[in-house]
Amino acid sequence: MSNQGHGRNFNRERGLIELYGTDPERADAIVFGRKTPLGRRGFLKGVGLSSLGAALGATIPFAAYMPSGLVPVAFADEANWVRELSDTGLTVLNDRPINAETPAHLLNDSVTPNHLHFVRNNGLMPEGNGNQKWTLSIDGEVMRPTTFSIADLKRNFRPVKKALLLECGGNGRAGYNPPARGNQWTTGAVANAYWTGVRYSDVLNAVGPKPTAIYTAHYSSDRHPSGDPDKVVISRGIPIAKAMKSDTIIAFEMNGGPIPLTHGAPLRVVAPGWPGSASQKWLNRISIRDQVHDGTKMTGKSYRVPDQPIPPGGEVNNLDMRIIEAMPVKSLITRPETGYHHKHRETMQIGGHAWAGDRIITKVEVSIDFGATWRRARVEGPLNRGSWQDWSSAFKFPKPGYYELWARATDNEGVAQPMLVPGWNPRGYLNNSTHRVAVTAI
């Protein structure tokens, strides 16, 4: 499927539900790649009967008789989640695995409600496993390998509650030209929720990291889309120094209640300011390594960028890629919504959020004349370390017409957002160009 975006064409992956919801007959014709006695063709985009069987965990003896457009009951959970996310206003980019972003104007709250928090999954969500049965094992370069229940974590360590920002490393990928591989996130793969848990550092100190400990390795219970139980979906980690930060936590609550399944229930890492992939969902094991972790999606081009600039679309050797750590300075306009019509004689209130990985935002500026002049906005302090910061401003338009609101943030090291999409990279990470919103003054 070809879509227009940012003045160019790009190919966007369509998921199961969208594919069958828009044109089930064509979807069938795309998928199986062979005719059956009933003229039945296909089910999942780009895969055949063998792959579908693998995803289901069994062969399909009567596949030839499956009605056109039928979604197997085994995939009903994904379908239900997609409908629920769509009903709350999120844009579903993929449904197997589920990935959904939040339109900028729905992110106006200082603390993001659960139902408006973006969803980023690499695999299929695990089947329900109650908190009472869940365990977290810690092994590797530690003096006392230990297995904790969630009750153990709550009983043995002091709980903390913090507003912490999570952002997908590919947020803004849709802005790259030529297109980069992956879900075409625009601006909404970011959120700032209250997370309750225990400090990662307290848990590490309890098991006694050895002097050789330099990196963590996270493991979880999500399932590979292929249905192969031996395939690891994702296993990433963080340097011990990041794990020891006071705002890096092992969380068991989100916004004052149990973590929803879509966000990693019942236990997850929250490593704010770093790519969301460092904040492993459905966490059930931490292995402490004496080297940089080399798990699934830690190597190659996954969550890595070139260590030197390359031309758009250029090739880069995996050995010349570096792991993404702290995310870059960035801002988001959440009010008004793009496309808003405003009476030009009245003052318009503008606002949003800004963040900068492990740093603090010191300045946000707004322009209504395509960057010819800039007006400094009011910037609030973070709710706590690891949270984004709110900003606000007000404008009167000089006369009716089409305007664009531009926002750019600057961090405490003096680094500002670029006006243009930054250096191209194969997976489209770290696009922190200025956010733009269209307004018509009437």
The pair of three-digit structure tokens given for residue 114, joined into one six-digit string: 């659960």
Examine the domain organization and report whether 42 and 183 are in the same domain: no
- CA 351 to chain centroid, in Å, comes to 23
Half-sphere exposure of 73 (CA within 13 A, CB side): 1
Examine the domain organization and report whether 256 and 359 are in the same domain: no
In a domain, 79, yes or no: no
- Kindly report, residue by residue over 104-163, the tens digit of the pLDDT: 999 999 999 999 999 999 999 997 656 678 999 999 999 999 999 999 999 999 999 999
* DSSP single-letter state for residue 71: P
pLDDT for 392: 98
In a domain, 29, yes or no: yes
Task: Identify the domain boundary among 323, 355, 386.
Answer: 323
pLDDT for 227: 78
Examine the domain organization and report whether 279 and 341 are in the same domain: no
Report the C-alpha dihedral over residues 162, 286, 323, 301, rounded to 10 degrees. Answer: -120
Quote the mean pLDDT of the chain.
Answer: 87
Number of structural domains in the chain: 3
Examine the domain organization and report whether 148 and 179 are in the same domain: yes
Examine the domain organization and report whether 148 and 238 are in the same domain: yes
In a domain, 97, yes or no: no
Angle at 120 between CA 74 and CA 27, to 5 degrees: 45
Angle at 164 between CA 160 and CA 170, to 5 degrees: 145
Q: What is the pLDDT along the chain (442 residues), one digit of tens a residue?
A: 333 333 333 334 444 344 445 544 444 443 333 333 333 333 343 345 555 555 555 677 777 776 665 656 555 566 677 788 888 999 999 887 899 999 999 999 999 999 999 999 999 999 765 667 899 999 999 999 999 999 999 999 999 999 999 999 999 999 999 999 999 999 999 999 999 999 999 999 999 999 999 999 999 999 988 778 889 999 999 999 999 999 999 999 999 999 999 999 999 999 999 999 999 999 999 999 999 999 999 999 999 999 999 999 999 999 999 999 999 999 999 999 999 999 989 999 999 999 999 999 999 999 999 999 999 999 999 999 999 999 999 999 999 999 999 999 999 999 999 999 999 999 999 999 999 999 999 9
**3 state SS of 233:** coil
Examine the domain organization and report whether 44 and 119 are in the same domain: no
Host domain of residue 21: 2-71
Kind and range of the H or E element at 193?
Answer: strand 190-199
Examine the domain organization and report whether 173 and 265 are in the same domain: yes
Residue indicated by tokens 């492990």: 358
pLDDT for 55: 54
Nearest of 323, 324, 243 to residue 286 by alpha carbon: 243
The pair of three-digit structure tokens given for residue 368, joined into one six-digit string: 């209504």
pLDDT for 39: 33
Examine the domain organization and report whether 306 and 430 are in the same domain: no
Q: Is 423 left (phi over 0), alpha (psi -120 to 50) or beta?
A: beta
Q: What is the CATH number of the domain that holds 219?
A: 3.90.420.10
Examine the domain organization and report whether 133 and 279 are in the same domain: yes
pLDDT for 383: 98
Examine the domain organization and report whether 65 and 140 are in the same domain: no
In a domain, 365, yes or no: yes
Q: Where are the alpha helices (DSSP H) in 62-132?
A: 76-87
**3 state SS of 116:** helix
In a domain, 369, yes or no: yes
Cis, peptide link before residue 37, omega less than 30° from 0: no
Angle at 247 between CA 245 and CA 249, to 5 degrees: 95
The pair of three-digit structure tokens given for residue 260, joined into one six-digit string: 């929803």
d(CA 364, CA 432): 14
| Single pTM value for the model | 0.85
pLDDT > 90 fraction of the chain, expressed in percent and rounded: 75
Distances (CA, A) of 29 to 51, 64, 66: 16, 14, 14
Examine the domain organization and report whether 343 and 205 are in the same domain: no
pLDDT for 52: 57
d(CA 280, CA 285): 10
Examine the domain organization and report whether 368 and 343 are in the same domain: yes
Query: Which string of DSSP letters, residue by residue, matches 19-58?
Result: HHHH-HHHHHHHHS-S--TT----SSTT--HHHHHHHHTS
Q: What is the CATH number of the domain that holds 345?
A: 2.60.40.650
Nearest of 403, 381, 417 to residue 336 by alpha carbon: 403
